[in-house]
């Protein structure tokens, strides 16, 4: 029988390298990798031009969709179109900023209900660990969430309170029993309470309000708790290089610990952020250029496992561009559509290849959450793919982006690398075609 689709490319990123190949797709999966010139009987044949590289669809495990409840910030339709435009074919939605949060089975069901007929890429869900919901963790786990998110300080929204030390231990004991993953926003509340106030228009003031030692102290707490409970823990959005020695030591000792960072920490530097530029506010903050380079070194060495966007949009008024006051502005950077070109722009300057970028942004996130058929181009894998032109530069125009509110720290920045086409299970996804049927699926942990 004829295959459904063949994609021929002079450059295809497969695990560990690049090859010229014909990627054969049957029933939504890669059925074979054939030599580039080998004749293949297929319903459709697509030849990529020589300036394009075929990549696996990216997996972004840190996305705040916010629907339901704060859908004016973002929603499943807009977020998944932005993902497709950026070559991302799978996202995992964070449990907070929506109302209700995903801290109960009822909250998960409500989120699934509103998402199911809107998504143009595949979507999974994190559960949330908050004070008093230990009994909710097993039902959420059984319902297929990919793990649980907690905060060690104020999350910024009242319906998602932080865990104290006792609460973290209780949750980790339960997750160790379930062999479930805890992902942690690791900043220490006491350190931040003692830091200077971050109000005003000077970025330096905001930076001093979220000191490096807040991350280091919180990560030390997570390491200790993971060590004595035996649970799996993951540090989200690492911004401070000061924590890297402790992370290395913990992993050498066998603590089940993984770490992510984000494109904004690898792209920007505190010294370059002007007064009142609240679009750059995120927590933990963008730090200095020397810190950025140490993060790149840790990513190169494998101490940092993966790169995800922490796409955290809001309405423009909440960014307080009118006052430029960092203390009043919502913290979060919208970047779901821009993660791949942002990371590639900086990676290529440092001698990295697209094989590295795919390892950080497709393979690593898929492995983190156990998506065994995602993140790679190989027989048996989902035919989630993107055509990427790595030499094509563009100027970021927020008005042309697909996420709901056109505010981003990348506005006016020239990035290198353009996503030209995206396929989900071998079917093209056009983020500009609002009338196309949404073909994304709602994913459960453990399903193929």
Mean pLDDT of 63-81: 98
240 occurs within a structural domain = yes
The pLDDT tens digits for 149-174 are 999 999 999 999 999 999 999 999 99
Domain that holds residue 272: 57-369+391-416
Query: Is position 344 within any domain?
Result: yes
Residue-wise pLDDT for 126-151, tens only, equals 999 999 999 999 999 999 999 999 99
Give the pLDDT confidence score for residue 331 in this predicted structure. 97
Going by pLDDT thresholds of 50, 70 and 90, the confidence category of residue 447 is confident
Examine residue 332 and state whether it is found in any structural domain, yes or no: yes
In a domain, 432, yes or no: no
Q: What value does the mean pLDDT take over residues 204-218?
A: 98
- Domain of 190, CATH number, reads 3.20.20.140
End-to-end CA distance of the chain: 24
Q: Is residue 439 part of a domain?
A: no
Q: Is residue 189 in some structural domain?
A: yes
pLDDT at 427: 98
> What band does 448 get if pLDDT is binned at 50, 70 and 90?
confident
Q: How many domains does the chain have?
A: 1
The pLDDT of residue 175 is: 98
- Specify if 225 maps to a domain: yes
Q: pTM for this one?
A: 0.98
* 66-80, 84-98, 370-384, 432-446: the lowest-pLDDT one: 432-446
Whether the predicted pLDDT of 16 surpasses 90? no
């Amino acid at each position: 029988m004829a295959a459904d689709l063949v994609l021929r490319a002079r450059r295809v990123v497969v695990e560990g390298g690049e090859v010229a190949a014909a990627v054969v797709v049957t029933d939504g999966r890669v059925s074979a990798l054939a030599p580039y010139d080998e004749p293949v009987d297929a319903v459709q044949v697509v030849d990529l031009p020589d300036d394009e590289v075929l990549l696996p669809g990216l997996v972004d495990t840190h996305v705040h969709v916010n629907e339901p409840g704060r859908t004016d910030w973002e929603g499943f339709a807009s977020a998944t179109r932005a993902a497709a435009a950026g070559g991302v074919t799978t996202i995992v939605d964070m449990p907070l900023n929506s109302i209700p949060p995903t801290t109960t089975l009822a909250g998960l069901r409500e989120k699934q209900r509103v998402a199911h007929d809107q998504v143009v890429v595949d979507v999974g869900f994190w559960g949330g660990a908050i004070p008093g919901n230990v009994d909710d963790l097993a039902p959420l786990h059984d319902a297929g969430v990919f793990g649980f998110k907690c905060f060690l300080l104020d999350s910024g929204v009242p319906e998602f309170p932080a865990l104290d030390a006792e609460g973290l231990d209780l949750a980790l004991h339960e997750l160790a029993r379930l062999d479930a993953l805890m992902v942690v926003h690791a900043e220490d509340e006491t350190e931040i309470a003692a830091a200077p106030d971050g109000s005003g228009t000077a970025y330096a003031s905001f930076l001093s309000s979220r000191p490096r030692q807040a991350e280091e102290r919180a990560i030390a707490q997570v390491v200790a708790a993971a060590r004595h409970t035996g649970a799996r823990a993951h540090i989200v959005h690492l911004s401070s290089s000061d924590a890297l020695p402790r992370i290395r030591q913990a992993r050498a000792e066998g603590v089940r610990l993984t770490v992510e960072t984000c494109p904004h920490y690898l792209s920007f530097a505190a010294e370059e952020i002007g007064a009142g530029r609240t679009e750059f506010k995120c927590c933990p903050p963008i730090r200095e250029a020397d810190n950025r380079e140490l993060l790149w070194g840790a990513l190169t060495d494998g101490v940092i496992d993966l790169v995800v966007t922490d796409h955290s949009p809001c309405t423009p008024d909440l960014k307080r561009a009118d006052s430029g006051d960092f203390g009043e502005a919502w913290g979060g950077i919208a970047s779901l559509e821009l993660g791949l070109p942002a990371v590639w722009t900086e990676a290529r300057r440092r001698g990295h290849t697209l094989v590295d970028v795919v390892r950080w942004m497709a393979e690593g996130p898929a492995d983190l959450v156990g998506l065994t058929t995602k993140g790679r181009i190989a027989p048996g894998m989902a035919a989630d793919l993107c055509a990427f032109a790595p030499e094509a530069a563009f100027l970021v125009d927020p008005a042309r982006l697909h996420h709901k509110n056109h505010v981003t720290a990348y506005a006016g920045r020239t990035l290198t690398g353009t996503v030209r086409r995206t396929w989900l299970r071998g079917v093209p996804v056009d983020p500009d075609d609002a009338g196309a049927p949404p073909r994304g699926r709602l994913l459960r942990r453990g399903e193929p």
